Structure 1
Amino acid sequence: MAPEYAMEGIFSVKSDVYSFGVLLLEVVSGIKISSVDRIPNYPNLIVYVSKYYYLQSKGFKCLVLFEGKARDLVDKCIVENCLLDEASLCIHMGLLCVQEKPEDRPFMSSVVFNLENGCPTLPAPNHPAYFAQRNCDMVQMREDIMNSMNTVTLTAIEGR
């Protein structure tokens, strides 16, 4: 769900783009958006991918360098059978789709066109929603998330 919709109830065509970006990152990585157990020290998939992408590409400036590291983010079930430049394009496009400001996200027609045709000159993505705003310790954030998870549900049925 796009952050502007979740926080303020504002819905637009860019809200669907955000959701598609999340889906794209989930498919390529094989990790669900909220699978904190699969990505230690990160609160969600978007933060994990963007942090990794940002570090590997030196601030989104050197995307060719990232293509060599895309293997680490691709789902282990498909990594041997996929083209890493296509996986890198999907990750890059996914990050463009989950940018914080809706006006920074591409239109869906542009996303589809670039995924079908490949585009070596995509703009560098800004930090995604909820990522640029947070300046807290990721380890502490993970502990807070893990401590709030409830894996047991007890139901007591009582008559009136």
Structure 2
Amino acid sequence: MEAETGSGGGVVSEARIVPDIDDLVRRFPRIGKMWPQFEEELAAFSACPPLTRPGTLQILLAAAPSAGLTAVKVGAVWRAASGFAHGRYWPNLRASQPYAAFPADNGIHTLALVIDEDQHRPLAQYCNSMLRRLQEHYTVRAQAH
């Protein structure tokens, strides 16, 4: 991309405006005095590691206590639900009950599982509690504006 002059006297380069320092100092004399400190602060800031987006589990663990829930329990049922949603086999072993075994010729059995409602009920209750708390927060903020 070719450099173009920006509206503030700076140079537009690759969709960023690079200020013309001489123009800024002329228009705002205090900037000239503060510029060395600004450069140091900018250099220190640019050395900071980039922020990372929290994952769903981190968000749930942080939000659970505000809804009166135990974060570890919410995390455990979320992991199981996530495993079901992504087709993993281990949630079936953790949150289901066997109801039949069918023998095969060579001593191998096929196990039939049924969803254990006692294992899934907390997930529904936690979702309900957290959604209710979210609605309360939303209502308070909406009425404040």
**TM-score, normalised to structure 1's length?**
0.23
> Higher Cα Rg: structure 1 or 2?
2
Q: Which has the higher strand share?
A: 2
Q: Which has the higher helix share?
A: 2
